[in-house]
Structure 1
């Protein structure tokens, strides 16, 4: 039973590191852009959009569809960066232990 007790200590330590990581992610910001910087999006570490900047040259009625596409592309760029940041943080929290396929943390 000594191994079980040691494993429980490791799980509790990992839970503490997960809580720290989640707090850190809430404070982090990631920027994404598209159209050569015409559209810029800022997301927090949880993936929520906190800012959007659009170059004034894109504010023309005939550019509406292009602007919509650029906003989506900028958001996707930032979201990919958030996911990469989360993956790096998870590696440090789990000590490089591989998670079973399809298992995502935090739960």
Structure 2
């Protein structure tokens, strides 16, 4: 059985790993695309959209509904990628905790 000092040291290391994982999550940037790349956007790890690119052909009158659908699809694509990155970062952090470790809930930015 570990003594108290060893447990505190291990808990401190775990906390540091989780903080590092959260920092990496915030620094992540992903690109989502839809319509064969006609709509692209970037999301930061915090969920903030930092860029949006729309093909000029989608700006034609009557294309508003199509454009809205493509923007939502690009956002969903980026969000899935961001969720995958965040999940992997937390798994990597948890790997240092040993078998049976329980992860905290992932932060929800959306």
- Asked whether the equivalents of residues 29 and 45 of structure 1 are also in contact (C-alpha less than 8 Å), the reply is yes
**Aligned residue for 2:105?**
104
TM-score, reference length from structure 2:
0.81
Larger displacement relative to structure 2 (67-76 or 5-14):
5-14
Q: 1:53 — aligned with what?
A: 53
Q: 1:14: how far off?
A: 1.6
Q: Which runs of 5+ in 2 are unaligned?
A: none
**TM-score, structure 1 normalization:** 0.83
| 1:86 paired residue number | 86
Offset, 1:50? 1.1
Q: 1:7 deviation in Å?
A: 3.3
Instruction: List runs of 5+ in structure 1 lacking aligned partners.
Output: none
Q: Which has the higher helix share?
A: 1
Higher relative contact order (CA 8 A, sep 6+): 2
Rate the CA distance shift 1:98–1:13 in 2: closer, same or farther, 3 A. Answer: closer
CA distance in 2, matches of 1:83, 1:62: 34
Q: Deviations over 1:22-63 (max 9, x none)?
A: 222222210010000010010012222111110111012200
The 3-state SS of whatever aligns with 2:63 is helix
Paired positions, count:
105
Which range moved further: 41-50 or 8-17?
8-17
Residue in 2 aligned with 1:32? 32
